[in-house]
Structure 1
Amino acid sequence: MTAVSVRQAVHELMAFHGMTTMFGNPGSNELPFLKDLPARYILGLHEATVVAMADGYSQITDRPTLVNLHAASGTGNGLGALTNSAISRSKLVITAGQQVRDMIGPEVMLANVDAAALAKPLVHQSLEPLSAADVPRAFSQSVFASERGPVYLSVPYDDWDAEVPAAQINQLSRTVAKAGTIDPRVVSDLGDKLRTATKPVLVLGPDVDDEKTWETTIALAEAFDLPVWAAPSLSRLPFPNQHPNFRGVLPAGIAPIGEILGAHDLALVIGAPVFRYHQWQPGQYLPETTELIQIGDDPAAAARAPFGDALIADPVEAIGALAGELGATDRTPHEAHIQIEPAAASAIDGVLHPEEVFASLRETMPADTRFVVESTSTNAAFWAQMDLRHSGSYFFPASGGLGWGLPAAMGVALADPDRPVVAIIGDGSAHYSISALRTAVEENIPVIIVLLRNGTYGALDWFADMLGVDKAPGLDLGEVDFVSIARGYQMRAEHVDSAADLDRSIAEAADRAHRNGTPTFIEVSTEKTRPEKK
């Protein structure tokens, strides 16, 4: 019987599943797997950066994406970024090198003694095969399991040279398809509820930020003149933010959400958990006069919701079916959008208001630009000035874990070079993953990085005030020359201190990205602002 190495079998399975790009930071335990690798290897200089890049890439491709980390230490470094991937349910297959099997028990250097337990709280599945012969099957299982979120696979490095029957490759080159449609009776019941409601409201989450349903959602909202809210703690934008029906992002507190939804007799929540609160603002979840129905494909989210009924179904399919039932799919969405107010201006020379920065991006960048945002203290300014009319235009760390945005923007750009990508990063966030700049340069990733420098953790300053914590330590970042840091990584970088210079710099960066595929770093000193308007 013909035999092949475990490494060759897994490499063949990677090719079968179209896993042609891999993100990693290798160590000695991983080298045997990387021999003759049949995929493009994107190097990150820190494991959190690696996970975030793969996360951004997976969110665009919507396909299993391979990540390679180094044993327990590398896995530990990546866990912070993995908190975001777990919430967004990104399709990551995370492999980590384990020591030689005979060396794990004595707990020698680089042995991960309880490997499967290390990432377990943050992944959909975590395993270490009990034998070398089971590694190809375990890899295949991990690819399919990643359809529901990140998975973790630890492999002892002597397994890769072990032999397995070549026939195993064909046996494991298989597909697992999800079929089924929403029961037409359920769709009809939902349609009846919407028709008879006197004051319905639509709450949309990140799971319906999908080009297949973007216009259908708009048509549904317009057909019934539904007010549309985005779910709190938003990581993706599911509806154009300057559309007349859009009311904004729900506040992330129990009491304010209860008050907003309490003004309606029916709330349809599609593509989001109910709800991802943040600040502790206790109150009534929902008055008895409001009926809430949650639609999503995550059974765990439906089970843990503290109120409301739930329908477990593909949320994109649900919107399409509901719009069809109600005749909304026959409509063409109109182009009306809210008139954006002029940007607030800074009174300080050399310092711009964040609204000025976002107005410049809105006016200078193409309409289909993707924005990866990790500047939490400027949320209010961002939503006031940006006009996002395309699906897949907004990305934010799903669990709030900092350091995700800069490398995630690179993953997004790698996955889809046809749409421009801008990373909007706060100076507090930049410190977490600044080494991602090296990957952008090495891989010629055409991302534009706009760093907003205000010298503080602005969101924490706001939170400290809300919690009554006076003079909290650790919020002052001081003066850091990020331009010199970027240039040290051989990236084109400049500091701008006026709106006119910013317009010029962004336009030039966009032109370079389009013509040459090169990244640019733009540093802007900005006023301190708060995440929410008073």
Structure 2
Amino acid sequence: MRTVRESVLDVLRTRGMTTVFGNPGSTELPMLKHFPEDFRYVLGLQEAVVVGMADGFALASGSTALVNLHTGPGTGNAMGAIINARANRTPMVVTAGQQVRAMLTMEALLANPQSTLLPQPAVKWAYEPPRPADVAPALARAAQIAETPPQGPVFVSLPMDDFDVVIDEAEDRAAQRTAARTVTHAAVPSAEAVRALAARLAGARSAVLVVGNDVDAGGAWEAVVDLADRTGLPVWSAPTEGRCAFPKSHPRYRGTLPPAIAPLARCLEGHDLVLVIGAPVFCYYPYVPGAYLPEGTELVQLTRDAEEAARAPVGDALVADLALTVRALLAELPERRTPDAAPRIERAVSYAETDGVLTPLAAMSAIAQGAPENTLWINESPSNLGQFHDATRISTPGSFLFTAGGGLGFGLAAAVGAQLGAPDRPVACVIGDGSTHYAVQALWTAAAYRIPVTFVVLSNQRYAILQWFAQVERAQGAPGLEIPGLDITSIATGYGVPAHRATGAGELTKLVRESALQQDGPVLIDVPVATELPSM
């Protein structure tokens, strides 16, 4: 006869979920007491940081993350980060403590009266086990749901008095059998569907590929590169690129499509067929109305997400495993000689200093020169994302993370989690000074656990991306877009992170290189940069 806690720990071991990201409260202590030595607890000082770290950990490691939050208030604090995790397609089990069952009806302090409603619709599934014996199998089911494509976070509310309850041997065995189940997700399209798609590609006058986050997440990177090489088609990244889906240095690569209807359609002019792989059609913002596609252009979407296929405003869709489908498609396509790729159009941005500070491209280039080749990059500097990609030219899978959810607070926390998830890789986080303060408490975790992340903060004392949106939306004069007076290095030092200020490109490269070579803990580098607003 064992307790619920003992059964739960074995379920988590079976699922490989022995790292817990959390910020404990009184309702979580019964789950955490007698914490076993083969588990690891990673403390975050605020719940959004906790979820952000778990997000980066899961994406970098390819495993399912486990989060432990403090009942309703902790879940509420974490909601923005959970929304980002949903957009990132991150497999994550989010747990939160709940008041003892005897006091739920009277809604005692820290009772969460609508525990399963609070995190919705940001989670795929929300559940509170009806009996203590159901806790362990509920967590096993939660892991399976989180890992089912499209992957994403799930939520389980755990009454605090359940963990010391003794369950019988049959109930325990049933929970362990549930945890040990394997579910393989490999939906293969019919041979007829593949042949039809191959015929459309072969018959197109001027086809084009558009690739998205799920190419990297779904293990289809090499297959998509082979498809581009075989067909000679140009390749665009879909808007809101949270992961690199194609080598930035490849001669067929054309850049990232703009995230607005009319400008995106203009980029596709001259093509009669658009094949979208692993991306929604399309993630638009801001609203710039127009035709979704140029006149006479057809579109086919290949996705693992049936809901994503259903909500697309144009085109046909094929719902199946990306890598298997692209490989099957290659087998149907004839070998053919492809003309030389057109040269990529380079971004016309100055490398020089402006008013005594580095331009964004100069800063990004200096950072890239100092970073090792196998760096795992985390970016949360949205106004300078184009310059970042121009400088880094990331060309290996699993090497770039950027939140696809649109909310800030991902970068610092995700970088800490990513280094824990991929400890054999150097991790560099390039982040704006505004973005830094959405989850600045992550610096404490990095220092306390001696996590060797290089944080590079691009400081322009404003929310530059919002200033760009203000121009696009004709909302000039909006307040709250300037953030003067921030002393990033003092804040980092206060959290225990060694900090430097770099004022020149050479100094910045040197600091990044030195930080990447050491393994003693995090380093923060503050870099004053000029403001350059994006263009579309």
State the TM-score bracket (shorter-chain normalisation): over 0.9
Match of 1:16 in 2: 14
Residues 53-452 of structure 1 mapped to structure 2, 5 A cutoff: 53-147=53-147, 148-167=151-170, 168-169=172-173, 170-178=176-184, 179-209=186-216, 212-287=219-294, 289-326=296-333, 344-348=350-354, 350-452=356-458
Structure 2: how far apart are the matches of 1:320 and 1:492?
48
The one-letter amino acid of 2:12's match is M
Q: Is the 8 A contact 2:141 2:179 kept in 1?
A: no
Q: Show CA shifts across 1:425-478 (max 9, x none).
A: 101111111110011111221110000000000000011011111211001100
Matching residue within 451, 466, 475 for 2:472: 466
Q: Is the 8 A contact 1:375 1:424 kept in 2?
A: yes
Distance of aligned partners of 1:174 and 1:211 in 2 relative to their CA distance in 1, 3 Å threshold: closer
Q: Aligned with 2:533: secondary structure?
A: coil
Q: Show CA shifts across 1:7-36 (max 9, x none).
A: 111101001111121111110000100123
Q: Aligned with 1:269: secondary structure?
A: strand
Which region of structure 1 is more displaced relative to structure 2, 300-309 or 197-206?
300-309
Match of 1:25 in 2: 23
Match of 1:504 in 2: 510
| Structure 2: unaligned runs, 5 residues or longer | none
Q: Show CA shifts across 1:473-499 (max 9, x none).
A: 001100211111111111111101111
Q: Is the 8 A contact 1:380 1:530 kept in 2?
A: no
Structure 2: how far apart are the matches of 1:230 and 1:257?
11
Match of 2:5 in 1: 7
Which region of structure 1 is more displaced relative to structure 2, 66-75 or 517-526?
517-526
Structure 2: how far apart are the matches of 1:176 and 1:367?
36
Cα distance, 1:114 vs structure 2: 0.4
Q: Is the 8 A contact 1:231 1:249 kept in 2?
A: yes
| Structure 1: unaligned runs, 5 residues or longer | none
Structure 1: how far apart are the matches of 2:79 and 2:53?
14
The one-letter amino acid of 2:31's match is F
Structure 2: how far apart are the matches of 1:517 and 1:197?
55
Matching residue within 454, 463, 469 for 1:457: 463
Structure 2: how far apart are the matches of 1:227 and 1:31?
55
Q: Show CA shifts across 1:309-350 (max 9, x none).
A: 11111122222222233267x99xx99996978972344464
| Identical aligned residues as a percent | 42
Q: Show CA shifts across 1:202-261 (max 9, x none).
A: 010100015943333222112211111111111111011232211111111111222223
Cα distance, 1:64 vs structure 2: 1.7
Structure 2: how far apart are the matches of 1:297 and 1:98?
35
Q: Is the 8 A contact 1:367 1:388 kept in 2?
A: no
TM-score, normalized by length of structure 2?
A: 0.94
Q: Show CA shifts across 1:82-125 (max 9, x none).
A: 11111122100000000011111212111100000000110000
Structure 1: how far apart are the matches of 2:160 and 2:236?
49
Which region of structure 1 is more displaced relative to structure 2, 449-458 or 343-352?
343-352
Structure 1: how far apart are the matches of 2:230 and 2:139?
47
Structure 1: how far apart are the matches of 2:221 and 2:347?
25
The one-letter amino acid of 1:282's match is P
The one-letter amino acid of 1:469's match is A
Distance of aligned partners of 1:337 and 1:27 in 2 relative to their CA distance in 1, 3 Å threshold: farther
Q: Aligned with 1:107: secondary structure?
A: coil
Distance of aligned partners of 1:348 and 1:257 in 2 relative to their CA distance in 1, 3 Å threshold: closer
Which region of structure 1 is more displaced relative to structure 2, 36-45 or 87-96?
36-45
Which region of structure 1 is more displaced relative to structure 2, 193-202 or 235-244?
235-244
The one-letter amino acid of 1:143's match is A
The one-letter amino acid of 2:16's match is G
The one-letter amino acid of 1:134's match is D
Which region of structure 1 is more displaced relative to structure 2, 260-269 or 233-242?
260-269
Structure 2: how far apart are the matches of 1:12 and 1:383?
43
1:491 aligns with 2:497: yes
Structure 1: how far apart are the matches of 2:495 and 2:343?
41
Q: Aligned with 1:158: secondary structure?
A: coil
Structure 2: how far apart are the matches of 1:60 and 1:502?
26
Which region of structure 1 is more displaced relative to structure 2, 99-108 or 520-529?
99-108
Distance of aligned partners of 1:335 and 1:55 in 2 relative to their CA distance in 1, 3 Å threshold: farther
The one-letter amino acid of 1:319's match is V
Distance of aligned partners of 1:228 and 1:407 in 2 relative to their CA distance in 1, 3 Å threshold: same
Dislocated runs of 4+, deviation >6 Å = 334-337, 339-343
Q: Aligned with 2:180: secondary structure?
A: coil
Match of 2:523 in 1: 520
Match of 1:37 in 2: 35
Q: Show CA shifts across 1:55-90 (max 9, x none).
A: 111112222211001000000000001111111221
Q: Is the 8 A contact 1:350 1:525 kept in 2?
A: no
Structure 2: how far apart are the matches of 1:327 and 1:213?
20
- Counting matched residue pairs gives 526
Structure 2: how far apart are the matches of 1:253 and 1:166?
58
Q: Aligned with 1:161: secondary structure?
A: coil
Q: Aligned with 2:423: secondary structure?
A: coil
Structure 1: how far apart are the matches of 2:504 and 2:189?
54
Q: Is the 8 A contact 1:48 1:433 kept in 2?
A: yes
